[in-house]
């Protein structure tokens, strides 16, 4: 099964700055996702990272705030731009090869990036 | 729109006792259902899934889940809880047609007391 390395694992940032989170998968996968997890709340999908094209964002998330890159089938980055304290959260990278409903492989997750904005 | 409900924010159980973590879903058509576990400072780990077939699904670490179509439920169970089972558990659902993106529940914190 795929192993996902995500970094940094945590960071404390100043208001107004930007941080780029990296996600590396040890095998080629068709689908990569970025989630936000806040305490006491469910995982919220930010976007699907598409290889070679613009990411597909969910309602409430925009490219200017959360630019995403996916240059190949094993790597993606999420940037949290112009950060404010409301962006303090855990950001999770996820990957699956094929359609989750039909794939023999489950959806894999990185260990997350714990982000605090001062 | 599909939704997943985990009605309990926290479940407490004594070690050695059976545990149940509840999940109900609302999706159009037949559901694909999943359980994940998250340990502190870690990502989610897959436990088990239901696609079709037997209503009782067995997964990792001795966990199992029972699909009940009439009650639209997919409760996670384990006959004998371990302290090491203490973690956050997430239920997720996908409809058989339409979007392939899973919907996750809010998560249930399981605390197993020695």
Quickly list DSSP for B82-111: -GGG-EEEEEEEEESSS----EE---EEEE
Residue A40 — pLDDT band, cuts 50, 70, 90? confident
C-alpha A80/C-alpha A92 separation (Å) is 13
Q: Per CB distance under 8 Å, which residues of A are interface residues toward B?
A: 4, 6, 9, 31, 33, 40-43, 45, 48, 92, 94, 99-101, 106-112, 114
- pLDDT tens per residue across span A98-109: 877 777 678 999
**Is it the case that residue A1 has pLDDT exceeding 80?**
no
**pLDDT computed for residue A42 by the predictor:** 83
Listed in order, strand segments (DSSP E) in B2-86 are: 3-5, 10-14, 19-21, 24-26, 31-38, 44-50, 56-58, 64-68, 73-78
Contact B47, B21 (CB under 8 A): no
C-alpha B23/C-alpha B74 separation (Å) is 5
* Cβ burial, residue B19 (10 Å; 0-12/13-18/19+): buried
- pLDDT tens per residue across span B41-76: 899 999 999 988 889 999 999 999 999 999 999 999
Distance from A14 to chain B by nearest Cα, in Å?
22
**Is it the case that residue B84 has pLDDT exceeding 90?**
yes
Does CATH place domain B3-113 in 3.30.470.30? no
Say whether A42 and B107 touch across the interface (CB within 8 A): yes
Contact A85, A64 (CB under 8 A): no
Q: Which residues of A51-79 are buried (b: 16+ CB within 10 A; e: fewer)?
A: beeebebeeebeeebbbbebeebbbbbbe
Averaged pLDDT of chain B: 93
Q: How many helices (H) and strands (E) does chain A have?
A: 0, 11
Distance from A43 to chain B by nearest Cα, in Å?
6
- pLDDT tens per residue across span B19-41: 999 999 998 888 999 999 999 98
Name the class of domain A4-108.
mainly beta
C-alpha A66/C-alpha A26 separation (Å) is 24
- Chain B residues in contact with A40 by the CB 8 A cut-off are 9, 106
Q: Residue A8: CB partners within 8 Å, gap ≥ 6?
A: A21, A113
Tokens of B47: 């436990």
- pLDDT tens per residue across span A58-79: 999 999 999 999 999 999 999 9
**pLDDT computed for residue A39 by the predictor:** 78
Domain boundaries, chain A: 4-108
Q: Is B46 on the interface with A (CB under 8 A)?
A: yes
């Amino acid at each position: 099964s795929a192993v996902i390395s995500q970094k940094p694992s945590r960071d404390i940032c100043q208001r107004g700055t930007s941080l780029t989170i990296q996600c590396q998968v040890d095998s080629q996968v068709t689908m990569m996702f970025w989630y936000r997890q806040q305490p006491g709340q469910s995982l919220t999908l930010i976007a699907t990272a598409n290889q070679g094209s613009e990411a597909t964002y969910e309602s409430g998330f925009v490219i200017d705030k959360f630019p995403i890159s996916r240059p190949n089938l094993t790597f993606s980055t999420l940037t949290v731009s112009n950060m404010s304290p409301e962006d303090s959260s855990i950001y999770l990278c996820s990957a699956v090869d094929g359609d989750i409903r039909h794939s023999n492989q489950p959806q894999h997750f990185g260990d997350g990036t714990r982000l605090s904005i001062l | 729109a599909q939704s997943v409900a985990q009605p309990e924010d926290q479940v407490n159980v004594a070690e050695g006792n059976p545990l149940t973590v509840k999940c109900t879903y609302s999706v159009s058509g037949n559901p694909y259902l999943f359980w994940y576990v998250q340990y502190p400072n870690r990502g989610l780990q897959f436990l088990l899934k239901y696609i079709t077939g037997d209503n009782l699904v067995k997964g990792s670490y001795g966990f199992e889940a029972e699909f009940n179509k009439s009650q639209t439920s997919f409760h996670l169970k384990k006959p004998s809880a371990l302290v090491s089972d203490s973690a956050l558990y997430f239920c997720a659902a996908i409809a058989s047609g339409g979007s392939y993106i899973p919907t996750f529940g809010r998560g249930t914190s399981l605390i197993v007391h020695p």
